Amino acid sequence: MRSARNALEVDQLSRVFDVSAPWLNRVIDRKPKRYLRAVQDVTFVVEKGKCLALVGESGCGKSTVARLVTGLYSPSEGAIVFGPSSDGRPMEAQMIFQDPHASLNPRWRVGDIIAEPIREFRLRDGNDAINERVAELLRTVGLSADDAKRFPHEFSGGQRQRISIARALASEPEFLVCDEPTSALDVSVQAQILNLMRKLQDELGLTYLFISHNLAVVRHMADRIAVMYLGRIVEEAETEALFANPQHPYTQLLLQTIPDVVSPNRDRQMMGGEPPSPLDPPKGCAFHPRCPLATEICKTVAPDVRLRQGGGTIACHLAPMD
């Protein structure tokens, strides 16, 4: 799997959290420890200059993967390897968080927020050079250099996300992990931020790991899509191939949720049910309680990941063989 053209290689990545009650409570109630396996045996590759999207419902583990990749969590098992950057060193990753209001220090001016990584990494010498770089970054994301004097609460949600992008770019990374960067924004503002991110990718040669639950957003951004369910990747393929021929029942479920005003299908039968608890996952295929095609083998044997018909991978007993 190791290749110089890959920005990121993730191999059999798993993360387990200890969610047990305090020791005394467990002794009194005579209960064992409890563990939550948030991510299990996740494997994927992100090529340099490309965008891989991780999609799935809330609680599927995609944000945990984002935090593992950026080092906010340490993996329980598996490997995370960054490829070489343009100067030969391991590639550096920065993160754009979901809520720009919560991720920006409300007591700091915008200029200080963006300047902090520049100072910490000693990327510019002297205050004049740092201030000039801050002004350049603000203009790059569509804001004014004078905005450096203002506080985050003085901006709209879309403007705050632009500030977050400028802060992420301040350390001059080549890899950005974007954890649902538009989900807290209005639809019209979402389009502006997505267009900005595509523009920056083309101009700066950035590589993205894009986390989202919205396949309509992902189609605009991603070169490849990996669909997650209950901590595992169940299907991965090129974006257009996945949209043209979704083969896993869960992927088909997600695609059914995308509104289509041109040709609405009001007679379609939506799959029901809620995702099972990761504290007590079902045996066999985790999706079988909600899958209308499930057979006995689905209820007892977890499917292996294999080649998907038309390219990519899939974990489903009933998927056509390549």
Residue keyed to tokens 């209950």 = 230
Partnered with residue 79 across adjacent β-strands are 11
If pLDDT is split at 50, 70 and 90, which confidence band does 115 have?
very high
Helices (H), the chain: 23-29, 62-69, 100-103, 110-120, 127-140, 157-170, 187-204, 215-221, 239-244, 249-256, 296-300
Q: Identify whether the C-beta of residue 53 lies closer than 8 Å to the C-beta of residue 218.
A: yes
- How far is residue 278's CA from residue 229's CA, in Å, rounded to a whole number? 10
For the whole model, what pTM was predicted? 0.90
Structure tokens at 285: 């295929």
Residue 187: the pLDDT is 81
Cα–Cα dist 152/111, whole Å: 10
Maximal C-alpha separation, the chain: 69
* DSSP-assigned letter for residue 62: H
Sorted by sequence, the CB contacts under 8 Å of residue 166 that are 6+ apart come out as 114, 137, 138, 140, 141, 143
Taking only the tens place, the pLDDT of each residue in 190-223 is 889 999 999 999 999 999 999 998 888 898 899 9
Q: Which of 161, 217, 153, 172 is nearest to 191 (CA)?
A: 217
Contact (Cβ atoms closer than 8 angstroms) between residue 216 and residue 53? no
Q: What digits encode the pLDDT tens for the residues 264-298?
A: 655 555 556 678 888 889 999 999 999 988 999 99
Q: For residue range 143-198, list pLDDT tens digits in order.
A: 999 999 999 999 999 999 999 999 999 999 999 999 999 887 888 888 899 999 99
Q: What percent of the chain has pLDDT over 70?
A: 94
Judged by phi (left if over 0) then psi (alpha if -120 to 50, else beta), residue 30 lies in: left
Task: Report the distance separating Cα 158 and Cα 192, nearest Å.
Answer: 8
